[in-house]
Structure 1
Amino acid sequence: MKKEIYFVLAFLSVVGGCSDNTSTRVQDSNNSQRVEAPNPISEDKTKQVLDHHWDAFTQNNMEAVMADYTEESVLITPDATFKGLDEIRKNFENAFITFPRDITSFQLNKSVVDRDVAYILWQAKTPTLNLSYATDTFVIRDGKIIRQTYAGVAKD
């Protein structure tokens, strides 16, 4: 129960910091400010990034995985928070050791996209690990993952 609460709180803190309104304030030549129209959020683009990320992750393709992030991206897991490209890369270096490409079977059980938020429920199995329940939530803006949470449960 404690791990479930931690995950919910982590997700709420991530999504709570992401405003639905992506409009920007611009100062014109007369020094007056105007608000530009919000950037439209495309569910199709969110799904495209999610699908690319899942395919890259399950193929252990580091460069393709990292192409989904920016220096401002944040990945929150039960064990640590990874900020920026270098830290996120280290997380995936460890993940690819845990899930070797040729001996890991992945199963995507559920995928949900709502505007700029994507959610997946999945599992993975290797000869030494049975990750029976894993979930990621992504906030995607301008074709990049800006926030991500991950939690998983391994069976003994």
Structure 2
Amino acid sequence: MPDLLRDVYTREDKMNRSTIEVFEDHLKLRVEGDLDTDLQRNYSEAVVLLTENSNAQGHDAMRASARRLAEQLPNSKFEFLSKQVSGPYALLVWRAHSDRFNVNGGADTFLIKDGKIQMQTIHYQLVSNKGRPGGLGQQDGRRPARTSDHDPGRTAPGPNIPGHLPSDLE
């Protein structure tokens, strides 16, 4: 098959992938550590990333988010606790254990249309793997550090999502 026809077929085939196919391919590639292939194959170039404290767009936003997560959870092992799909929507509930922090109740949601992830939300709370939530001592009476947009320089109020740690807790 000439390259032009193969390229057209490949584009049409990708657009016809179901929500489950895109979702499972995304998870497989992330487990394998192949972010670039995942972004190219499964994410819209204009993907919207929503977290508690961020509203970002594009592949660069997804790269930054993945980089911050890797910094927060070095040498991590992820477990997928639940996967749900309904029409164009997908939900992943997960936990992770790392050398630095753990996550016990992470949740990502996805909007998948035309064979690509159009929007992703990320929500989790870092818990010290030494038994102290978010790196905070229990004696100070403060709530655990919340995470939202993988930004280790900020602390967020409200529910848990990827990444905020005040610099004094790192």
TM-score range, shorter chain: 0.5 to 0.7
**Residue 21 (structure 1) aligns with:** none
**Residue 81 (structure 1) aligns with:** 55
Superposition pairs of residues 53-92 of structure 1, within 5 angstroms? 53-67=26-40, 68-92=42-66
- SS of equivalent to 1:51: helix
Compute the RMSD of aligned alpha carbons.
Answer: 2.0
Q: Structure 1: how far apart are the matches of 2:118 and 2:82?
A: 21
Residue identity over aligned pairs, in percent, reads: 25
Q: Structure 1: how far apart are the matches of 2:38 and 2:72?
A: 16
- SS of equivalent to 1:52: helix
Contact 1:116 1:141 in 2 (8 A): yes
The one-letter code of the counterpart of 1:104 is: S
Structure 2, unmatched stretches of 5+, are 1-15, 128-132, 134-170
Structure number having the greater strand percentage: 1
Q: Structure 2: how far apart are the matches of 1:79 and 1:60?
A: 26
Aligned residues: 113
- SS of equivalent to 1:127: coil
The one-letter code of the counterpart of 2:107 is: T
TM-score scaled by structure 2?
Answer: 0.60
Structure 1, unmatched stretches of 5+, are 1-41
Per-residue Cα deviation, 1:90-138 (whole angstroms, up to 9, x for no partner): 22222233344xx311111100000110011000110111111100110
Check 1:48–1:141 CA distance in 2 against 1; reply closer, same or farther (3 A cut): same
The one-letter code of the counterpart of 1:138 is: F
Check 1:66–1:49 CA distance in 2 against 1; reply closer, same or farther (3 A cut): same
- SS of equivalent to 2:49: strand
Q: Structure 2: how far apart are the matches of 1:124 and 1:65?
A: 20
